Amino acid sequence: MDEDVVLKKLRALDELSHKIAGQILSLLSDSSQTSPIITTRYIRQIEEIIAYQEREQKRLQETVKRQESYLTQLRSSFLFRLLHKLKIL
């Protein structure tokens, strides 16, 4: 999956989790509106969002590490060093 798409999804999920957290706080501050079922549902949704964000963050971090490793190997190659020395790169 394209990293830009993943980042957009993570941002949307972050906004959604903030909205849900705000709703939970609103519900909890008004005891007449508090329902254990509703509160539990919101908590589960937040947990699912956080779990997804953590998985995607870990996947993106692994992708970055692989790209950094590849870049390091590329920069240490003879061809790269030669092209760099010749100011082509």
pLDDT for residue 30 is more than 90: no
pLDDT band at 1 (very low <50, low <70, confident <90, very high): low
* Contact by Cβ (8 Å): 57, 7: no
Percentage above 70 pLDDT, the chain: 90
For the whole prediction, is pTM greater than 0.85?
no
Q: Is 42 exposed, middle or buried (0-12, 13-18, 19+ CB in 10 A)?
A: middle
pLDDT band at 69 (very low <50, low <70, confident <90, very high): very high
pLDDT band at 73 (very low <50, low <70, confident <90, very high): very high
Q: Which residues contact 21 (CB under 8 A, 6 or more apart)?
A: 46
